[in-house]
Amino acid sequence: MLTAFDLDYRILVVRDCCADTDAELHQCLIEKHFSRLTTVLTSEEVSARWPR
């Protein structure tokens, strides 16, 4: 992900479609790390925004 960020890619993280074996770490990464570098959305939000 960091390489994509460095290359100016637009990065989407689908919050409810990824996980970690440590739920607390996952929550921390989503809220503090990923939200700074990416757009964090739920699968419902992605579906609503995706052209049909």
| Helix intervals (H) in 1-52 | 2-6, 23-28, 35-37, 43-49
What is the reported pTM?
0.76
Concatenating the DSSP letter of every residue in 29-41 gives IIIIIIHHHSEEE
Residue 7, pLDDT above cutoff 90:
yes
| Gyration radius from the chain CA atoms | 12
Count CB neighbours of 15 within 10 A.
Answer: 20
Q: What is the pLDDT of residues 17-50, one digit of tens each?
A: 999 999 999 999 999 988 888 999 999 999 999 8
Q: Where are the domains of the chain?
A: 2-49
How remote is the C-alpha of 33 from its chain's centroid? 10
